Amino acid sequence: MRWDAQALRPASGEHGADNGTAAAPAAVPLLPLAGLVRSVSTPEFAGVTFHEVTAKSVLNRVASGSRMPFEWTINPYRGCSHACVYCFARKSHTYLDFDAGLDFDSQVVVKINAADVLRKELARSSWARQHVALGTNTDPYQRAEGRYQLMPGIIGALADSGTPLSILTKGTLLARDIPLLKHAAAQVPVGIGISLAMTDEELSEAVEPGTPGPRARLKLISRLREAGLPCGVMAMPILPWLSDSDEALDSLFSSLAHAGATGVTAGALYLKPGTREWFMQWIAARHPELAGRYRRLYGTGSYASKEYRTWLAGKVRYFKARHGFSGSHGFSHRDVDDPRGEEAAYPEGSLPAGHAGHAGAAQTSQPTLF
Ligand code: SF4
* Band of pLDDT at residue 357, cut at 50, 70 and 90: very low
In sequence order, the 6+-apart residues with CB closer than 8 A to the CB of 45 are 23, 81, 143, 144, 147
Ligand 1 pocket: which of 93, 142, 196, 234 to mutate (most atoms <8 Å of CB)? Answer: 142
Ligand 1 pocket: which of 48, 80, 351 to mutate (most atoms <8 Å of CB)? Answer: 80
Contact 59, 72 (CB under 8 A): yes
Count, residues in the chain: 370
184 lines ligand 1 (CB under 6 A): no
User: Quick one: average pLDDT of 75-81?
Assistant: 97
CA of 135 to the centre of ligand 1 (A): 9
User: Quick one: average pLDDT of 113-134?
Assistant: 97
Looking at residue 24, its pLDDT comes to 39
In sequence order, the 6+-apart residues with CB closer than 8 A to the CB of 122 are 59, 157, 158, 161, 163
pLDDT over 80 at 81, yes or no = yes
* CA distance from start to end of the chain: 48
Contact 345, 168 (CB under 8 A): no
Q: Is 277 exposed, middle or buried (0-12, 13-18, 19+ CB in 10 A)?
A: middle
150 lines ligand 1 (CB under 6 A): no
Share of residues in the chain with pLDDT > 70 (%): 81
Please tell me the distance from the alpha carbon of residue 27 to that of residue 316, in angstroms, as a whole number.
Answer: 42
Q: Which of 11-25, 166-180, 187-201, 251-265 has the lowest mean pLDDT?
A: 11-25
pLDDT tens digits for 8-22? 333 332 222 223 333
Three-class secondary structure assignment of the chain: CCCCCCCCCCCCCCCCCCCCCCCCCCCCCCCCCCCEEEEEECHHHCCCEEEEECCCCCCEECCCCCCCCCCEEECCEECCCCCCCCCCCHHHHHHHCCCCCHHHHHEEEEECCHHHHHHHHHCCCCCCCCCEEECCCCCCCCCHHHHHCCHHHHHHHHHHCCCCEEEEECCHHHHHHHHHHHHHHHHCCEEEEEECCCCCHHHHHHHCCCCCCHHHHHHHHHHHHHCCCCCEEEEEEECCCCCCCHHHHHHHHHHHHHHCCCEEEEEECECCCCHHHHHHHHHHHHCHHHHHHHHHHHCCCCECCHHHHHHHHHHHHHHHHHCCCCCCCCCCHHHHCCCCCCCCCCCECCECCCCEEEECCCCCCCCCCC
CA of 241 to the centre of ligand 1 (A): 21
Predicted structure pTM score: 0.85
Please tell me the distance from the alpha carbon of residue 310 to that of residue 340, in angstroms, as a whole number.
Answer: 23
Share of residues in the chain with pLDDT > 90 (%): 76
Looking at residue 329, its pLDDT comes to 66
* Band of pLDDT at residue 356, cut at 50, 70 and 90: low
CA of 206 to the centre of ligand 1 (A): 14
Residue 203 CA, distance from chain mean position: 18
CA of 247 to the centre of ligand 1 (A): 25
CA of 153 to the centre of ligand 1 (A): 22
pLDDT over 70 at 370, yes or no = no
pLDDT over 50 at 340, yes or no = no
By alpha-carbon position, which residue is closest to atom 2 of ligand 1? 355
| Domains with residue ranges and CATH for the chain | 55-76+112-359 (3.80.30.30)
Average pLDDT score over the chain = 85
CA of 53 to the centre of ligand 1 (A): 21
Looking at residue 32, its pLDDT comes to 74
